[in-house]
Amino acid sequence: MVHQHEWLINRVIQRSDVCVWGGDLFDFRWSQVGHEGESIDAALRWLQRYYERYPEKQFVFLNGNHDAHGRFRERLDEWSEGRERFRSGLDALVADDTLFLHGDVIEGTGSDQCFARYRRTWQDKPTAHPRASRLYDAAVSVRLHQAVAMTAHRRRRTCLRLDRWLHRQEAPWSDSIRRVVFGHTHRALNRFLFKGKEFYNAGAAIRHVNFQPIELMCFDEDQNGRPDGSL
């Protein structure tokens, strides 16, 4: 499905200085490419195309649960080492008053221990059997995944969990966050106001789900108070 949205992704990158990939770009369990090695190679080629197409842009890759695959993480870190405009190995990014993260910190009780356990369950999942893959496709075709997302990830409840997680962070930036950009829930949000913060979610580039990349101006004020770039 991502191929249907590439024109939109390209348009947004062209207007931006920094592109933040928010995690779950790739799913190695339900890969349509082949075995693990082939899927990882295909993922890196996809990232390379954007890196080469926009030589003046900065790229940041945030970890998600579906692409938390151990071998992919290793290959991605090796790949990014030789590319100065690409950063990987991050679970979150703070730019001025904006926090970017995948969003699966809401799983379980939201504690760091639960988050670590949740991510570990995704690290070594094998590629699904073709029969299981067909069942997954069937579930998507009848929009079962959409119904699950609507039930499990209600907007206010999700934003409350993210806000609670944020306030548990003993970091100098935690009190200054006014905007939170996340993914994971497959539910699009555009400036949803909750507890004094703005929440954004691009949705997901899969069938029957709304998808709209998030564009934000990042104010890294210069002497004239002008915006230094966009994300």
Are 218 and 227 in contact by the 8 Å Cβ rule? The answer is yes
Specify the residue for token string 């003046």: 56
Q: What is the DSSP letter of 101?
A: E
Which of 23, 89, 88, 19 lies closest to 58 in space, CA to CA?
19
Domain definitions of the chain by residue range: 2-230
Q: Tens-of-pLDDT digits for all 231 residues of the chain?
A: 567 789 999 999 999 999 999 998 888 766 667 677 888 999 999 999 999 999 999 999 999 998 888 889 999 999 999 899 999 999 999 999 999 999 999 987 777 888 888 888 877 666 654 554 554 454 445 444 454 555 566 899 999 999 999 999 888 888 999 999 999 998 899 999 999 999 999 998 776 778 899 999 875 544 333 333 344
The predicted model scores a pTM of 0.81
Measured distance CA(111)–CA(200) in Å, rounded: 22
Are 114 and 161 in contact by the 8 Å Cβ rule? The answer is no
Are 76 and 69 in contact by the 8 Å Cβ rule? The answer is no
Query: How wide is the angle at C-alpha 22 spanned by C-alphas 21 and 27, nearest 5°?
Result: 90
Q: What 3-state class would DSSP assign to 92?
A: strand
Q: What 3-state class would DSSP assign to 230?
A: strand
